[in-house]
Amino acid sequence: MLKTKKVLAAIIAATMVATVFTGCGSSSTGDSGTGTGTETGNDTKVEKVTLNTVSMFGGTDPNAEVYQEINKEFMAANENITIEDNSQSSDEEWKAKVATDFASGNEPDVIQFFTDATANAIVATDKLMAVEDIKKEYPDYAKDTLPAALDAVTNTDGIQRAIPTTGYWEGLFCNKDLFDQYNIELPTDWASLETAIKTFKENGIIPFAVSLNNVPHYFVEYLMLYSAGEESYTSVPEIAPAEWTKGLETFKTLRDMGAFPEDTDTVDEAYVIELFNNKQAAMILDGSWRTGGVTDQENTVVISFPGVENQKAQEGAMVGGISSGFYITKKAWEDPAKREAAVKFVEAHTGKEGVTKYWIAGGSVGQAAVAVEPVDGMSALAVNALEYSSSAKSISAPTDSRIDPEAYKYIIANVVKISTGAVSAEDVLNEALKLSAERAN
């Protein structure tokens, strides 16, 4: 039976290759909603395919425009393929929806998603194709992807399923003109950070643009990394280390200093990004993807996280990596009409041309999964960011790459309470580690 399916798939795939560029015919039959159907005319026959796709290139992500551009170019070049896309920003609600869709049999044909522990829930459904199996039929699949980049997106069970586009780093973006206006040095340690926060607060400038309610993730990572040091930060302990607790307790210290917006508990990420772009806030802790979305490319710089009091991480320690990529689901692979279309779709986004577009959209400063060429006319911020990312003393993946997504979500959901002193950071961490251990067994 399996052999028969393979023969049938090969015949249909060959038919698609021979006819995909011949143009549309004058009539159509079949239900395009199922991903199948035909168009005939002028003695040609083209298999019609509808691909259901999902990505986290949504919202304010600079990659969203590139993603949609590649999709349009792809459909123009493959007139028999229609893409039905449902991309959104990768907040906790969206991650939960993806997990629910896979568990209920409603998974898409292709999905761009995380590859670390965040993906464990969908990996466990056994509904994703392994790269090794795809390459048996399509040996040139992921041919442009650098081996190190492919290794970086190996799932936690040791199997490679996703093809990456670009990697990332996280850093502190600063409105340098505001620092100059108030004669403040860019912070390089805890003492100079305290001075900057105090001075900006006195002059009506929000020190940090951040939503503790919506996206406090970057502060969670850097506060823990610098408090604990690289070795402890990247471990998965059974109970909360004192250094982890100290890191999260710094939320309250910063809040008490007036470092955050007054409405930090209720605003969303889009709002605080505008605060920074409009010069109402001096600093924003974010990722390399934010580079292209910064309004003032000439007066903005990105620097290392200044640190915390009595830190254990070395100066210049960075959070970053490659932790997402495009997956093909078994639903698409086992549908002869969709298999080759899904492969072509992934190749359009992850080949050299596609990845270069994503890399440029990110300010030409992120980590590309393919070999890219330097770009002329880079902005002052892009040049600065490239220098910053190249100077990292160490690079550590974020916490959610190591513990269960639900456990990490529990930490994020309690950041506001930790910052107000309503709950204990130690209790939150212990509960999260306990939850992670339980879900791993």
Per the model's pLDDT, the better-predicted residue between 52 and 389 turns out to be 52
Distance from chain centroid for Cα 29: 39
Per the model's pLDDT, the better-predicted residue between 20 and 62 turns out to be 62
> CA–CA separation, 331 vs 105, rounded Å?
9
User: What are 369-384's pLDDT values in tens digits?
Assistant: 988 887 888 889 988 9
- Interval 350-372 mean pLDDT: 89
Q: What is the pTM of this model?
A: 0.65
Q: Which residues contact 248 (CB under 8 A, 6 or more apart)?
A: 220, 223, 224, 411, 415, 418, 425, 428, 429
pLDDT at site 440? 79
User: What are 391-405's pLDDT values in tens digits?
Assistant: 788 888 899 888 998
Comparing CA positions, the residue from 66, 28, 63 lying closest to residue 45 is: 28
User: What are 197-256's pLDDT values in tens digits?
Assistant: 999 999 999 999 999 999 999 999 999 999 999 999 999 999 999 999 999 999 999 999
> CA–CA separation, 201 vs 179, rounded Å?
12
Same fold, 2-167+322-361 and 186-319+377-440: yes
Fold of the domain built from segment(s) 2-167+322-361: D-Maltodextrin-Binding Protein; domain 2 (3.40.190)
Q: What is the 3-state secondary structure (H, E, C) of 162-200?
A: CECCECEEEEEEEEHHHHHHCCCCCCCCHHHHHHHHHHH
CB-hemisphere CA count at 13 Å for 121?
Answer: 22
Token couple for 55 = 């990505």
> CA–CA separation, 380 vs 298, rounded Å?
5
State the DSSP code for 321. E
Q: According to the per-residue pLDDT averaged within each range, which of 212-216, 286-290, 387-391 is highest?
A: 212-216
CATH architecture entry for 186-319+377-440: 3-Layer(aba) Sandwich (3.40)
Domain parsing of the chain, residue ranges: 2-167+322-361, 186-319+377-440
